[in-house]
Amino acid sequence: MNISSHEEYGLRCALQLARHFGHGPLSASKIAEREGISVEYVSKFMHLFRKSGMVSSLRGTQGGFELSKEPEELKLKEILGALEVHTCDGSSFCQQFAGQREVCANFQECSIRPVWSMITFHLEKILESLSLADLLHPEILVRSKIDHVLMSNIRPLERRAENQERPREKSL
């Protein structure tokens, strides 16, 4: 799976705003300098963030951009949505990759569908659970949070699988 520069730099720009939260606006040129990207590229992200209501802007020499919400309130899913990045809907695979047909030739019995569905499910859970504030922590803590999210979603799936595997007891 590819993560484009759009997602990477967009998240990094959002992180710059989170680091500066509560200290007034941060200019696009300052963000660009800190991230090593062009002011035009930063401005593109700020436009998308402003359009979504995620940031507000202030004009003038002391102007710039600031988050409209606390970093704890901004989930990664919302940020990627502002960047106009949408994760794949697990149920759309059969239509999306149907070739010349309306639905996939393997629609009735597909061994690939559960792979993409589970990847999508866990990706969505991570993006819904992690906030911008979580990404302000050291990498090891972010990994720990992701592990926690994954494990808390695996346990119910394991229980469901166990229940399906058990033979049903016969009643007398």
| Pick from 2, 49, 4, 19: nearest CA to 132 | 19
In this prediction, residues 133-157 reach a mean pLDDT of: 90
Q: What is the pLDDT of residue 153?
A: 82
Question: At CB < 8 A and 24+ separation, what contacts does 44-47 make?
Answer: 45/9, 45/10, 45/13, 45/14, 45/83, 46/13
- Spatial distance between the Cα atoms of 72 and 134, rounded to a whole number of angstroms: 7
Q: Which residues contact 93 (CB under 8 A, 6 or more apart)?
A: 104, 112, 113, 116, 117
* Rg, the chain, Cα only: 21
Q: What is the pLDDT of residue 112?
A: 79
- Spatial distance between the Cα atoms of 56 and 65, rounded to a whole number of angstroms: 6
Q: Cβ(8)–Cβ(36) under 8 Å?
A: no
Q: What is the pLDDT of residues 88-137, one digit of tens each?
A: 655 566 666 667 777 777 777 778 778 888 888 889 999 999 999 999 99
Q: What is the pLDDT of residue 51?
A: 96
Q: What is the pLDDT of residues 59-77, one digit of tens each?
A: 988 889 999 999 999 999 9
Three-state secondary structure string covering 53-111: CCEEEECCCCCEEEECCCHHHCEHHHHHHHCCCCCCCHHHHHHHCCCCCCCCCCCCCCC
Whether the predicted pLDDT of 56 surpasses 70? yes
> How much is the mean pLDDT over the chain?
85
Q: Which residue has better confidence, 98 or 19? A: 19
Q: What is the pLDDT of residue 60?
A: 84
CATH, domain range 1-86: 1.10.10.10
Burial 85-119 (b: 16+ CB within 10 A, else e): beeeebeebbeeeeeeeeebeeeeeeeebeebbee
Domain boundaries defined on the chain? 1-86, 88-172
